[in-house]
Amino acid sequence: MLGGGQRAFLDVLDSADRGVLLARTRTIKARKGQMVLSTGESSREVFIVQEGRLQALLYAANGREISLRDLSVGQLFGELAAIDGEARSASIVAVTDARLLAIPDDVFRSVVATSPKAADWMLRRLTAQVRSLTNRVFEMGALHVQARLHCELLRLARTCSAGDALVDPAPTHAELASRIGTHREAVTRELSALARQKIVRSSRRRLEFLDIERLEDELRATLRAPVAEEAGW
């Protein structure tokens, strides 16, 4: 259910392609809470995060937030509109003060079209996104809240550095709830249960994984159990 990491877009380019791209970029600063892109707008630029953290969000008619993914230093967003010319498919909000590189869509497409390394990077990225969305559709339709949280926690654990089991800053309980389609109280309750089992330790904006193997075992046990009643089948 979990995908591996991917090198940053700029890192895969050779010096000539990187120079062409950087010569046409502009720097944008965003303050915490600022909406950088809005769902449905017609802009086409592609962005690379240089500093700070952002979130990709969707908003329901009732105002409920659906969190799609976090965006941290080195990550890229906005490429879908640059590729297909359609409207923005999600809103991007700065979680902290942030600094971004903005790349014109024609420059981005040109680099991807002429650089085999960039093209391979983009193919792998889009494939990873499809796999991630497939997993999330399964989780939302077939798993109960506890199992969905376990899946999300294991995704977070994969972001930790080798030999390190700490996420700092970690998503808030409300952010985790938005990612897995539940409410903050349910996330708080489940994290408290995992803390009592000494599987995780959570405090303020820090999340430490004490026993990842046991968390994986808990999820595997859930996946082996019947899910028809919970999924409404």
pLDDT at residue number 69:
86
- CB environment 135-157: b (16+ within 10 A), e (fewer): ebeebeebbebbbbbbbbbbbbb
- Give the pLDDT confidence of 69-93 residue by residue, as tens digits: 889 999 999 999 999 999 999 999 9
Coil, strand or helix: which one is 200?
strand
How is domain 9-118 classified at the CATH fold level? Jelly Rolls (2.60.120)
For residue 220, which phi and psi values (nearest 5 degrees)?
-60, -40
Tokens of 27: 């720097």
At 229 the pLDDT is: 39
What pLDDT is attached to residue 228?
36
Q: What percent of the chain has pLDDT over 90?
A: 66
Has residue 174 got a pLDDT over 80?
yes
Residue extents of the structural domains in the chain: 9-118, 135-227
Confidence of residue 225 (pLDDT cuts 50, 70, 90): low
CATH number of 135-227: 1.10.10.10
pLDDT greater than 80 at residue 146: yes
Q: How many helices (H) and strands (E) does the chain have?
A: 10, 11
Give the pLDDT of residue 136.
Answer: 86
